[in-house]
Structures are given as C-alpha cells and as structure tokens.
Amino acid sequence: MKYIYFIFFYLFFSCTKEKLPINQKISLEGTYVFDNVTVSIIDNSEKQGGAYYDNGAIFVNPYDVNGIDTIITDFSLMKIQNNKVFFGAEVSNEDTVWHVSYDCSHNDIYSYKGALMTFYPQGTKRDWGIESINGKEFVINPPLIWPNSNNGPAYCLVFKLQKVKR
C-alpha cells in the first residue's frame, strides 16, 4: 500500500502541464536594411573559409541579378510589399525610389525555421530560406552558389536584415 501512495505521489508531481508558447504570425512585409552578409566557401562538404561583411562593407556577387548583386551593409535596402520584393533603393528626404522589383510569393509565417520566400528575377526562380524572423530581425539563407557548375567550391550566403521604419 505504501508503494501505491509513493507511485501516486510521484505521478502527480512529475506530470505537470507544460504550456507551449503560442506562435504568432509574423508578417514579412516591410522595409529592411542589410545588417550583415556572411559568405562561407564549401568544398567537398567542408567549410574552407569565408568572409563577413558589416559596418558599410560592400559585398559584390557577380553571379546574382540586378538589385542583389551589390550589397552595402548598413545601407542597402529591401522592401516586401503587395507580393513584390524591391531592391536598389534611392533614398531622399522626401521619398524612396525603388529601381528593381520582382514578383514575390510568401505568406505571413510563424516564427520558425524552414519557411521560404520565393521571388522571380529575370525569368528565374529564387527560393530564399528563412532562418529566423521575429518582426525586427530577418535572417535569410539563399541557395548555394556554384560558379563553376559542380566543379570547385560552392558559396553559402547568409543575409541578416533589420526592419526599418519607412
């Protein structure tokens, strides 16, 4: 009988209810500044080195399309609005003029890893993996870049963006 009380006592106190956090939808729409860019060189599934760009450094990617081929950290902007993604901002006191826009598909997402933002630059399809988003920060993993087809190393990029008020 004593063991039954002990088992009951143990089960009662060890089986507590755990409330899981409620994920709220986070909208991707807004204007973001490229805070930093991380480039890793991957060869034979091993990281061989890379570079980190921040504080106004210029990241040039000759393998990418207009608008995202040159990114100046802490300056270059990206805007997502009405199923379009905008790049190449020219900022003045009165207004922001966007020189490049592409059709974009996305849904408001939950704050978990694995969602995609898809856009269509110049007849191609880009799927950017969303590493994280919290309403203020946005971390994106574009697909690997293989400049020499499957020969040689691939380049892995990570873009970290901060939401700005515009």
157 in Cβ contact with 33 (< 8 Å) = no
Percent of the chain at pLDDT exceeding 90: 19
Q: How confident is the model at residue 116 (pLDDT cuts 50, 70, 90)?
A: confident
Domain 25-164 has CATH 3.30.530: no
Q: Say how many C-beta atoms besides its own lie within 10 A of residue 128's C-beta.
A: 20
Ordered by start, the domain boundaries in the chain are: 25-164
Give the per-residue pLDDT at 140.
Answer: 81
Average pLDDT, the chain: 77
Give the per-residue pLDDT at 19.
Answer: 44
Region 137-155 average pLDDT = 73
Which range of 13-22, 69-78, 92-101 scores highest in mean pLDDT? It is 69-78
Which secondary-structure segment (H or E) carries 2? helix 2-14
Residues 25 and 104: their CA atoms lie apart, in Å, by 18
Structure pTM? 0.74
Give the per-residue pLDDT at 123.
Answer: 80
Give the per-residue pLDDT at 112.
Answer: 53
Nearest by Cα to 29 from 128, 126, 133? 133
Q: How confident is the model at residue 29 (pLDDT cuts 50, 70, 90)?
A: confident
**Start-end of H helices in 44-100:** none
Query: How would you classify residue 164: left for phi > 0, otherwise alpha for psi between -120 and 50, otherwise beta?
Result: beta
Residues 18 and 56: their CA atoms lie apart, in Å, by 45
Region 19-41 average pLDDT = 76
Give the per-residue pLDDT at 28.
Answer: 80
Tens of pLDDT, residue by residue over 50-87, are 889 999 999 998 878 888 889 999 999 999 888 898 99
Residues 110 and 23: their CA atoms lie apart, in Å, by 6
